[in-house]
Amino acid sequence: MSKRIALVGMPNTGKSTLFNRLTGAGARVGNWPGLTVELLSAKLLLGDSMVELVDLPGLHNLHGFSEDERVARHFIETQPLNGILVVLNTTQLERQLALVLQLKALGLPMLLALNMADEAQHRGIRVHTDALEDRLGIPVRLVSAKHGRGVPELKQSLTDWLRANPKPTQASATALEEDDSIEHSVDDMLSKVLHIPICLSPTRTDRIDRFLLHPWLGIPLFLLLMLGVFQLVYGIGAPLQDGLAWLLDEAKTRWLTALLSGLPGWASSFLLEGLYDGVGTVMSFLPIIVVFFLAMAVVEDSGYLARAAFLMDALMSRMGLDGRAFVMQLMGFGCNVPAMMGTRVIRSRPQRIAAMMTIPFSLCSARLQVFLFFTSAVFSPRAAPWVLFSLYVMSFLLAFFTAWMLRGRARRATDPLLMELPPYRVPTLAALTRQSFRESGHFLRQAGGFIILGVALVWFLTHFPLDAAPASSATLAGHLASWMEPFFTPLGIDQLLSIALLFGFVAKEVVIGSLAVIYGAGGDQLSGLLAQRLDWMQAYSFMLFTLIYTPCLSALATLRREAGGSRYMWASVAWSLTIAWLLSFAFYQTARALF
């Protein structure tokens, strides 16, 4: 019989970090409440037993009403378990211990891990673990998942604990019916086991928050910080991208061209100008993607993104939403799909639907790749970060405008925002590196199939019939472009660019690869061709349309599933296409008139 342990804890206790430490799995680690909304699991070898460790969504108590809390409670109630590993934040024990007593009443074997013990020690907080073990009747271990302290000892305790509880058991359903007396038990227990200094001196977090959470300075400082991230991405990532593009061009010129010279012309064209140029151009931007995710990991793991949600709560409340929706918007920087799934932490269905409708406007990593390419090709190194920054600002404005349009429906069920602001932490280099490469690897795995299929299909459309000039009006792509020309010409988007946008509907990652195939060039050659063919107004109009127009198929499928029907999916397609055309038209025509 398989063995299974549930990992349970409140949000912001470092539960997912401990999960990764124990299993080596790639569970996403965040520094705001409610990030983990799916049941993540991984295998863990304890002694001679292979155990499935399941990381449940964070829950404040067993009677929570958000969807992630219901998912966690339902799993504990219905699944046979060898036990529960409970994770608490040692610095907030007085607010979190009640959850342990609620779980203990279920009659399941338990082990308590007091995480962030290093922070508690730094603040002068001491926990008498022996006394706490006697009071609770369960093993208690102090750990620091961030630094790995106490984790080997915790593994050994889990091994011994599992040997004592070899058979899975079922939770007691009756224990969930009454927990009114738990609060009194907590107060009595804490007085015996916990020592907190009478007066805690102002912490580094308190001093920093005086500026970063200032009612007037907070939002401008957030925007300046994000601008600094973009400057860093270009300063470090652009030279690395140029180097990788040069290597790919050299490989094509020196080896691949000669190697494939014996093939028929169409086959050589497909492999070199189709697959190699298309996929290679996308891959050349991987260094910039890695640097971007590394910089965002620093912002995220430091605890600052939770404060961004707090800062934006007042503004979001005017639109019937709260700061949690803004957190999901920030999550969309990586990918819109998990951001939409993350809206499960929002209790009100109208609010959740409104939040999901705003997320497709987040500038995801796939769109980021397109914008990095165009800004590098058309704009100067000094102007490029500002252009990218303006697109991020536009994505937020569009999300806010969409939420404002839906405010009547969402406001009827507005809940107050309750969330923990974690202390500022210095992220470890190992954790940042793992997260950066994990996100980049996820991007490549998700996009790889779409890119290869997309560039192959684009090559076929731009080269069939085979006797026609590539990408000419006589090809299938030329006929499609002629049909779409009246729609895109007022936006300054020519026929070849419109073909790339057509394939971007499937996945935005395909856009750059499509352009490489359409123009028959990759890397620096493609950048040079775009710089010759486009002025800055055409380039910005193209990027603006790419930012706004219809979400990719994966995001639409997620929206349909999470919203429980196709109604909001089609509404998202219609709304985004309409706004994309109107804004790109307004920008291009105004810019032409003025400049």
Indicate if 163 and 283 belong to the same structural domain. no
User: What single letter denotes the amino acid at residue 168?
Assistant: P
Assess if residue 201 is contained within a domain: no
Give me the phi and psi of 552, to 5 degrees please.
-70, 170
Q: Cβ–Cβ contacts within 10 Å for residue 73, how many?
A: 21
Assess if residue 418 is contained within a domain: no
Indicate if 246 and 189 belong to the same structural domain. no
**Which tokens is 546 given?**
């790419």
Indicate if 44 and 80 belong to the same structural domain. yes
Of 195, 230, 257, the last residue of a domain is 195
Indicate if 189 and 311 belong to the same structural domain. no
Assess if residue 527 is contained within a domain: yes
Distance CA 176, CA 286 (A): 50
Indicate if 190 and 230 belong to the same structural domain. no
8 A C-beta contact, residue 354 and residue 406: yes
pLDDT for the residue 180: 47
pTM of the model: 0.64
Q: Domain of 137: which CATH number? A: 3.40.50.300
pLDDT for the residue 114: 95
287, 249, 458, 281: which is closest to 370 by C-alpha? 281
Distance CA 419, CA 33 (A): 7
User: What single letter denotes the amino acid at residue 396?
Assistant: F
- Chunked into runs of 10 residues, the chain (595 residues) has average pLDDT values of 86 85 63 52 85 86 69 82 93 89 88 92 89 92 91 91 84 59 68 71 77 83 79 78 84 86 85 80 73 78 78 75 74 74 72 89 86 89 90 92 79 54 80 74 63 78 81 82 91 88 78 82 79 93 94 82 86 95 97 92
Assess if residue 124 is contained within a domain: yes
SS3 509: coil
pLDDT for the residue 8: 94
Give me the phi and psi of 499, to 5 degrees please.
-65, -45
Indicate if 86 and 31 belong to the same structural domain. yes
- Write the DSSP symbol of residue 89: E
Indicate if 146 and 251 belong to the same structural domain. no
Cβ neighbours of residue 473 closer than 8 Å, sequence gap 6 or more: 479, 481, 482
pLDDT for the residue 61: 79
Indicate if 185 and 229 belong to the same structural domain. no
**Which tokens is 117 given?**
């013990």
Number of domains in the chain: 2
**Dihedral through CA 474, CA 476, CA 477, CA 482, nearest 10?**
60
Assess if residue 13 is contained within a domain: yes
Assess if residue 203 is contained within a domain: no
Residue 325 structural domain: 219-411+432-594
Please tell me the number of Cα atoms within 13 Å of 526 on its side-chain side.
32
Assess if residue 328 is contained within a domain: yes
Indicate if 166 and 227 belong to the same structural domain. no
8 A C-beta contact, residue 301 and residue 431: yes
Cα separations (Å) of 120 from 85, 194, 543?
Answer: 20, 11, 48
Give the H/E segment covering residue 114.
strand 110-115
Indicate if 330 and 387 belong to the same structural domain. yes
**Which tokens is 251 given?**
């490989």
Cα separations (Å) of 176 from 107, 187, 462?
Answer: 11, 21, 64
Indicate if 93 and 226 belong to the same structural domain. no
Indicate if 253 and 188 belong to the same structural domain. no
Assess if residue 426 is contained within a domain: no
pLDDT for the residue 443: 60
Buried-state track 283-295, b at ≥16 Cβ within 10 A, e below 16: bbbbbbbbbbbbb
Buried-state track 352-381, b at ≥16 Cβ within 10 A, e below 16: bbbbbbbbbbbbbbbbbbbbbbbbbbbbee
Please tell me the number of Cα atoms within 13 Å of 585 on its side-chain side.
12
Distance CA 291, CA 279 (A): 20
